[in-house]
Structure 1
Amino acid sequence: MFEQHITPRFSETDALGHINNTVVPVWFEQARRPVFKLFTPDLDPGKWRLIIARIEVDFVGELHYGTDVVIRTSVDNVGNTSFRVAQEVWQQGKVRVKGLATLVHYDYQTQRSKPIPDYIREQLAQHRSE
């Protein structure tokens, strides 16, 4: 499991003083960075090998400005060419948001998905959900 600590910015709040719902998918993307590095260690966009096929975000509690959050990221399921990442946003010891993202190992030259190499599959397995 990976953990990312984020200090919410004032600009990320809505008129009610909550963290705006549009912010969380951006946080989730940032917290997937260690997963991206498994496929592209230097994060060079010219060598990028992933596309996002689906995201789901479930808001189960309010997020507030002024208190840091922790995003926990784990690998939920690995298929032949794709895998799913499970994420949670925690604030003040409680899960406030849950998310799932399906990522596809992709060859931009052929415009096709391709099998996830065994060495990456092994690394993904080290970060499986408990």
Structure 2
Amino acid sequence: MFTATVTPSFGEVDGLGHINNTVLARWFEMARNPIFRMFEPNLNLSHDVWPLIMAYTDFNFVGELFFEFDVELRTYVEKIGTKSFTVYHEAWQEGRLCTYGRAVVVHYDFKAGTTTPIPEEKRAELAEHMVPEGVAQGIKN
């Protein structure tokens, strides 16, 4: 598991006084950086170097997030396939799960324009961060 703490900014608050729902996409994207660094330590986005492409994301809001308190982001690997893997995220505030979501990331060769198998050493690194039993109990699909 990877964790990151985010301090909400005033500009992330919506008209209802909550953290805007669009903010979670950015926060979860930032929380994936440690996983991205497994594949490209310098986060070099050149098509000659970068080996990943996003295929899918979703977010489920189960509680409100507020401006006044820090948010803990928890990031796990939920599933590892041959050419893709699923990242599972949670956003916690004041001991409450407020948002959870997933992202499917595909191992990709931009030059060839095709998916490629995840190298075994990367699969092993990803496996070290699998969702443990009991996390998101009753929420996971």
TM-score (norm 2): 0.91
Corresponding residue of 1:96: 98
Equivalences for residues 10-89 of structure 1 within 5 A? 10-46=10-46, 47-89=49-91
What is the alpha-carbon distance in structure 2 between the residues aligned to residue 103 and residue 42 of structure 1? 18
Q: For 1:64, give the aligned amino acid.
A: F
TM-score (norm 1): 0.99
RMSD: 0.5
- How many residues are paired up? 130
Corresponding residue of 2:136: none
What is the alpha-carbon distance in structure 1 between the residues aligned to residue 101 and residue 29 of structure 2? 11
Structure 2 spans left out of the alignment, 5+ residues: 133-141
What is the alpha-carbon distance in structure 2 between the residues aligned to residue 29 and residue 2 of structure 1? 13
Aligned-pair identity (%)? 46
What is the alpha-carbon distance in structure 2 between the residues aligned to residue 99 and residue 55 of structure 1? 7
What is the alpha-carbon distance in structure 2 between the residues aligned to residue 44 and residue 74 of structure 1? 23
Q: For 1:79, give the aligned amino acid.
A: G
- Report deviation, 1:16: 1.1
